[in-house]
Structure 1
Amino acid sequence: MKIRLMQLDDYEKIYELWMSCVGMGLNNLDDSKEGIEKFLQRNPDTCFVAEVEESIVGVIMTGSDGRRGYIYHTAVNPQYRKQGIAKSLVDTAMTALQRIGINKVALVVFDRNEIGNGFWESLGFTVRDDLIYRDKALTEIVRIDT
């Protein structure tokens, strides 16, 4: 397995990977090729893919607001799970975030995503029950949940 920086040219393969993973929450704007291009422009050194024999089998998108790091859309092809790929992606991303001065990382996981929640708990990510997550769409967004 090889981990490398994510490139916009990887988009179609990554989107296909996301769609193969139950529990992913995507939308038509942020997760479009144009939306991912914007994200990569802002975060060129913190998004990674895992490859096996030149096939993308894992992805992690991380970014920063300069103060906190955020993890988005971490996924591993179901056929390649339980091989340490996700942990390697997380470790690589955490190192990249530390390199740019980030000291704390947050993420959001759907409560129904038992596999995802178990994974993040195994890595020491804790649930914050003192917060209420809120958002507001500024334009019409279509959810695409797997």
Structure 2
Amino acid sequence: MTELRIRAAAPADVDAVLGFWKVAAEGTSISDDRDGVERLVARDPEALILAEHDGELVGTVIAGFDGWRCHLYRLAVHPQRRRLGIGSALLAAAEERFVRLGGRRGDAMVLQRNETAHHVWRAAGYRSEEHWRRWVKPLSG
């Protein structure tokens, strides 16, 4: 893959992100609407991280930090662009953000039925905490 651009989402990206999630994300969330994404971008402009290739949206991750814990949501890569390092690049950007903010541990909310994602998180160095059904990874800073 040639140049991959990683950047924070802007308000103008909301419609593209929502359309992208319909193609690339497993399942939906109650927050997968214009108001939810606009609120996220307004509240924390660096939380929604996008991956673009030649101007095309090919991946997303939400890297939320509440001042105490680091949370990952909506890691999604276009189905035709998977296994090219896009997800890894998005996670690296999210983890760098967390370290800058003083985060020490990240967790990822993943649908229990999404077995493909479970393999991805394990390969990225996260471990499952079955009692919470989330994936966690200590972050060095």
Q: What interval of TM-score do these two structures reach, taking the shorter chain for normalisation? A: 0.7 to 0.9
- Find the aligned partners of 2:91 and 2:133 in 1 and give their Cα distance: 25
Aligned to 2:57: 56
Secondary structure, aligned partner of 2:125? coil
Question: Does structure 1 conserve the Cα–Cα contact (< 8 Å) formed by 2:112 and 2:133?
Answer: no
Which structure features the higher share of strand residues? Answer: 2
Secondary structure, aligned partner of 1:13? helix
| Unmatched segments (≥5 aa) in structure 2 | 135-141
Cα distance, 1:61–1:131 mapped onto 2, change above 3 Å? closer
Question: Does structure 2 conserve the Cα–Cα contact (< 8 Å) formed by 1:5 and 1:48?
Answer: yes
The answer to whether structure 1 residue 11 and structure 2 residue 31 are counterparts is: no
| Unmatched segments (≥5 aa) in structure 1 | 134-146
Question: Does structure 2 conserve the Cα–Cα contact (< 8 Å) formed by 1:59 and 1:74?
Answer: yes
The answer to whether structure 1 residue 20 and structure 2 residue 15 are counterparts is: no
- Find the aligned partners of 1:34 and 1:96 in 2 and give their Cα distance: 24
Aligned amino acid, residue 102 of structure 1: G
Listed one character per residue, the Cα deviations across residues 26-73 of structure 1 (whole Å, up to 9, x for unaligned) are: 22xx22111112112222223211111101111111111101011111
TM, length-normalised to structure 1: 0.82
- How many residues were matched structurally? 131
CA RMSD in angstroms, aligned pairs only: 1.7
TM, length-normalised to structure 2: 0.85
- Find the aligned partners of 1:132 and 1:20 in 2 and give their Cα distance: 24
Q: Name the % identity.
A: 27
Aligned amino acid, residue 34 of structure 1: D
- Find the aligned partners of 1:132 and 1:95 in 2 and give their Cα distance: 24
- Find the aligned partners of 2:133 and 2:87 in 1 and give their Cα distance: 27
The answer to whether structure 1 residue 120 and structure 2 residue 108 are counterparts is: no
Cα distance, 1:3–1:22 mapped onto 2, change above 3 Å? closer
Of structures 1 and 2, the one scoring higher in RCO (CA 8 A, sep 6+) is: 1
